[in-house]
Amino acid sequence: MQNDAPYTAKLASVIALPSLPVSEVLPAISNALSEKTLAVLAAPPGAGKTTLVPLHILSEPWRGDGRIILLEPRRLAARAAAGRMAELLGEKIGETIGYRMRLESRVSSKTRVEVVTEGVFARMIIDDPELSGVVAVLFDEFHERSLDADLGLALALDTQGALREDLRILVMSATLDVAGVSRIMGNATVIESAGRSYPLEIRHAARPAGERIEDSMVRSIREAHAGEAGSILAFLPGQAEIRRTMERLEGRFGGETMLVPLYGNLTQQEQDEAIRPPPAGRRKIVLATAIAETSITIDGVRIVVDSGLQRLPVFEPSTGITRLETVRVSRASAEQRAGRAGRTEPGIAIRLWHAGQTAALPAFTPPQILASDLSGFVLDLAQWGVTDPADLKFIDPPPAASFEEARALLRLLGAIDASGRLTAAGRKMRALALPPRLAAMVIAAASEGRAADAALLAVLLTEQGLGGTSLDLEERLRRFKGERGERAESARRLASRIAEAAGGAAGAKMVSHPGALLMHAFPDRIALQRGGRGRFVMANGRGAELPETERLAGSQMLVIADLTGQAGRQRILAAAEIGRAEVEAEMAGSIVTEEQCLFDPASRQVRARRVTRLGAIIFEETPLPRPSGPKAAQALADGVRQLGLQVLPFSKSGGQLRERIGFLHRSVGAPWPDMSDEALLARLAEWFTPFQEQARGLDDISPSSLSEGMMALVPYELQRDIDRLVPTHFEAPTGQRHPIRYDGAEPTLPIRVQELFGLRQHPSVAGGRLPLLLELLSPAHRPIQTTRDLPGFWAGSWKEVRSEMRGRYPRHPWPEDPAEAAPTTRAKPRGT
């Protein structure tokens, strides 16, 4: 084992530094990790957990020569944390302290603390489940609940339980549902640290209704700049709002104040410029997204202006797209943002909302696992050997709809089989460290000698801002190839590594446009212009639009790589032009020619046609004679699903049969079938389709076929019991037959009271088990009273009814004892 004496000497200098709040709980962390190997640390902003905890663990005797992995949610935070720890040790990054991220890595054989982004850790542990040489994994800022962090923790816990009992796991957060995290970790020890040591003043400057957030932000920044000393950190929801705010602020403060942006798409140099302290005698205004909420300290900031807004990705399984929504921040995020102002001296946090609105904010930002595209997540689980996420410990299990949507996509791409197991193609895709769609594209391109451009295109689509912002991916790819700067160079080097890993040969054939490549990633988003310039229908059947002024708006066919919006109005964000000949060549196995039966809502008829199609895209169409038979019946069923059951010609007796069977279902249950609209629509293939093979339209449907179909849902041995249990009519003592209603909670019989004279037993159904609810009517068929006990009514309230009714209807009999009177449907003869 390597001698750790040099590290001990360096740590002595760290311990001599001014104490931070987290220093008080470092012994408790040591005890928890030594005894139980699991712990949760809750430490507010400014406590020093990100830098002091990993350095403290370096000196633990159980560490030996093992490495410590510290997870950070973002690249900026990872670089900043590594830089600060290296500075405390008096070293350069890459010695004792190093970092790994997607486009950059600075580690060496000396490195003992590796700061990695969460996505990198997920790949590390899946590729090496034993985490060879790693003694501790520290999850920083876990409250952000990214999908990669949740997956990483679940896998780390699985590794500890099955392979590495000695692996230490520490979850750290500023704001966290501590109890929930501790519970998923087997009731791990919870350690709480004090927070900042400087006072923080909270002010509110509510944004007027209808005012743009940029205008409110500009006003608050100018007032704070004029009335307070120190630098300002302003939180805005996104890059567009930052740009518009900068345009309004430029030139207003003179040379003594720097105005800088901070968001994910900036280069490392630009991000470093934002967090670097301003030169002596100058101030700084930093306009940032949520990237500045955690893990980094912007020196000199003592004023925070918080818009109270954030932009979150929301995945819709029904459309398969992720759209960005601007929403209110959580109370936890608001606290995090405010805490940026009290890190090094007394601070001020200005919130652009009314004080009373804070209590209405959600407690925490929703975990990404609940609103994300899970295709990469499912692929990682398959590589881990898990097909059911319940086999791992997740604080929040993935939504079933999103999980199944991801599995369907991976099956389409050939990454998993029907049982969810990883295929050979899936293993190749996962090895590329790309989203599954793009990995499939690169692998397909490599087999044709086009891996180089495919890898460039994949990196372009995963690293925002490369190649500009054009919707046209051909233009963006061309610009990216010639783009200068450190970020572009790093991205191209990454693309080269991806192409090589996919089996691409050096100097392989290039292509002039990306459309043919994208078809392998987005076969469901190949789109044909339909409905005019800028309007397209995709192979998955959904529509998408782009502005008519865009060059691509005139294209006949596109492959759409990115889009947003609701299901009915999806807006194209990135696409490439493609020709039909290329689609036919690349997607020959998916293009089919078939005869179709379709329901036409306008004519209420079934139509037939021969089509050549790719999914929902129709290339050629030829009308055929109107059909009948099973396919026509299925098309009619589709029409009923579109229009609802109300379009079907139920007869009066058919409607009553439906009510009777439905009543038996509600009162007795299975096997009597549910007759609600939802249930019948769900079972059209059982009771409707088999009985409509002679129909060619809704007008051809006979009422008797509907009754026959509903009866077919009833088990054969019970069909003979329907009339006995729920008869259609009640025969009154007069001999008249009256229909019984079964549409409510109990069987109901409306009947004139005179027809029940002489009846001593209350009428019932279901073999005498269910009494009828009698709606007793006057001779004018108006309600008198309801009863479930006719003998009791005769002996009780009949006297009051008789007293009132005999004056109102003197020509009808109102005997004192109706149980002894003769039933009648007639009035008394005149003169009696």
Look at residue 509 and tell me whether its pLDDT is greater than 60.
no
Q: Are residues 177 and 83 in the same domain?
A: yes
The pLDDT, as a whole number, for residue 479 is 92
Asked if 827 and 780 touch (Cβ cutoff 8 Å), the reply is no
Give residue 276's pLDDT.
Answer: 83
Residue 12: is its pLDDT beyond 50?
no
Measured CA to CA, the distance from residue 621 to residue 449 in angstroms comes to 36
Q: What is the DSSP letter of 329?
A: P
- Residue 686 sits in the same domain as residue 734: no
Domain edge (last residue) among 726, 759, 776: 726
What is the rounded average pLDDT of the residues 518-535? 92
Per-residue pLDDT, 318: 65
Backbone phi, psi, residue 519, to 5°: -60, -30
Domain-embedded: residue 358? yes
Helix H, strand E, coil C: the string for 229-279 is CCEEEEECCCHHHHHHHHHHHCCCCHHHEEEEEECCCCCHHHHHHHHCCCC
CA distance 429 to 415: 7
Residue 673 pLDDT exceeds 70 = yes
pLDDT in tens, 60-79: 999 999 999 999 998 888 99
| pLDDT value for 15 | 47
Phi, psi of 521 (to 5 degrees): -95, -35
State whether residue 787 is helix, strand or coil.
Answer: strand
**Residue 353 shares a structural domain with residue 240:** yes
Shared domain for 678 and 791, answered yes or no, is: no
For the ranges 17-31, 270-284, 714-728, the maximum mean pLDDT occurs at 714-728
Q: Write down which residue in 555, 586, 617 finishes a domain.
A: 586
Strand duo 67-72 + 134-139: pairing:
parallel
Residue 409 lies in a domain: no
Type and span of the H or E element at 81: helix 75-89
Segment 690-695 shows an average pLDDT of 92
Cβ within 8 Å of residue 647, ≥6 positions away: 604, 639, 640, 698
Judge whether 426 lies within some domain. no
CA distance 657 to 173: 62
d(CA 294, CA 297): 8
Instruction: Judge whether residue 641 has pLDDT over 50.
Output: yes
Question: Is 509 in contact with 453 (CB distance < 8 Å)?
Answer: no
Helix (H) or strand (E) holding 281, with range, is: none
pLDDT of amino acid 275: 81
Q: Read off the amino acid at residue 330.
A: S
Q: Tell me the C-alpha distance between 137 and 485, whole Å.
A: 34
727-737 mean pLDDT: 92
Span 723-736, average pLDDT: 91
Give me the mean pLDDT over the 382-396 stretch: 94
The stretch 437-453 carries a mean pLDDT of 90
Same domain, 550 and 598: no
Please, which pLDDT band fits residue 82 given cuts at 50, 70 and 90?
Answer: very high
What is the pLDDT at residue 319? Answer: 67
Calculate the CA dihedral of residues 355, 361, 365, 366 and round it to 10 degrees: -170
Summarize the confidence of residues 162-184 as an average pLDDT. Answer: 88
Do residues 732 and 756 make contact, with C-beta atoms less than 8 angstroms apart?
yes
Q: Considering Cα of 808, then 811, then 814, then 815, what sign does the dihedral take? A: positive
Cα(595)–Cα(293) distance, integer angstroms = 58
Question: Binning pLDDT at 50, 70 and 90, where does residue 830 land?
Answer: low
650 lies in the same domain as 783: no
Same domain, 332 and 468: no
The first and second tokens of residue 416, run together, are 């998993």
User: Quick one: pLDDT band at residue 668, thresholds 50, 70, 90?
Assistant: confident
Q: Per-residue pLDDT for 100 more than 90?
A: yes
Q: Within this chain, do residues 712 and 735 fall inside the same structural domain, yes or no?
A: no
- For 787-807, write each residue's pLDDT tens digit: 999 999 998 889 989 988 888
Cβ atoms 711, 657 nearer than 8 A: yes
Specify the pLDDT at position 829. Answer: 64
DSSP state of 128: -
Q: Is residue 251, in this structure, part of any structural domain at all?
A: yes
pLDDT at 523 over 50: yes
* pLDDT, average across residues 645-668: 92
Bigger pLDDT: 274 or 675?
675
How far is it, in rounded angstroms, from Cα 111 to Cα 8?
15
Residue 374 lies in a domain: no
Percent of the chain with pLDDT over 70: 95
Predicted model pTM: 0.73
* CA angle, residues 357, 361, 362, in degrees to nearest 5: 165
Pair 778, 802 in one domain: yes
pLDDT higher than threshold 60 for residue 2? no
The sign one gets for the Cα dihedral 475, 480, 481, 484 is positive
Cis ω before 671 (30° cut-off from 0): yes
Containing domain of residue 264, as a range? 200-369
Q: In this structure, are 363 and 331 located in the same domain?
A: yes
Question: Which domain CATH number covers 147?
Answer: 3.40.50.300
pLDDT digits (tens, 9 = 90+) for 293-342: 776 777 788 999 999 999 888 877 766 677 778 899 999 889 889 888 87
In the predicted structure, residue 13 carries a pLDDT above the cut 80: no
**pLDDT tens for residues 254-263?**
778 999 999 8
What is the largest distance, in Å, between two alpha-carbon atoms of the chain?
Answer: 126
Q: Residue 832 pLDDT more than 60?
A: no
pLDDT in tens, 469-498: 899 999 999 999 988 888 888 889 999 999
- One-letter amino acid at 322 equals T
Is 343 or 797 the better-scoring residue by pLDDT?
797
pLDDT-based confidence at residue 662 (cuts at 50, 70, 90)? very high
- Whether 468 and 509 map to the same domain: the answer is yes
Counting the structural domains of the chain, the total is 5
What are phi and psi for residue 305, nearest 5 degrees? -115, 120
Residue 408 domain-assigned (yes or no): no
C-alpha–C-alpha distance, residues 40 and 176, integer Å? 10
CA pair distance 339, 348, nearest whole angstrom: 9
**How wide is the angle at C-alpha 238 spanned by C-alphas 236 and 240, nearest 5°?**
110
Q: Are residues 251 and 141 in the same domain?
A: no
State residue 322's pLDDT score. 75
Does a structural domain hold residue 514? yes
Q: What is the average pLDDT value for the chain, to the nearest integer?
A: 89
pLDDT tens, residue by residue, 413-434: 999 999 999 999 999 998 888 8
pLDDT at 353: 95
The pLDDT of residue 14 is 47
Binned at pLDDT 50, 70 and 90, residue 568 comes out as low
Q: State the Cα torsion 376-382-386-392 to the nearest 10°.
A: -20
pLDDT tier for residue 506 given thresholds of 50, 70 and 90:
very low
C-alpha distances out from residue 29 to 13, 63, 243, Å: 20, 14, 43
Show the tokens assigned to 515: 């459309």
**Beta-carbon count within 10 A of 580 CB:** 13
- Asked, for residue 413, whether it belongs to a domain, the answer is no
| Domain finish residue from 696, 726, 756 | 726
What pLDDT, on the 0 to 100 scale, is given for residue 763?
Answer: 92
User: How distant, in Å, are the alpha carbons of 227, 324, 338 from that of 302?
Assistant: 13, 31, 10
Segment 28-38 mean pLDDT: 93
Residue 406 has pLDDT above 80, yes or no: yes
Higher pLDDT, 826 or 709: 709
Of the listed ranges 45-54, 174-183, 555-564, 668-677, the least confidently predicted one is: 174-183
When pLDDT is averaged across residues 345-363 and rounded to a whole number, the result is 92
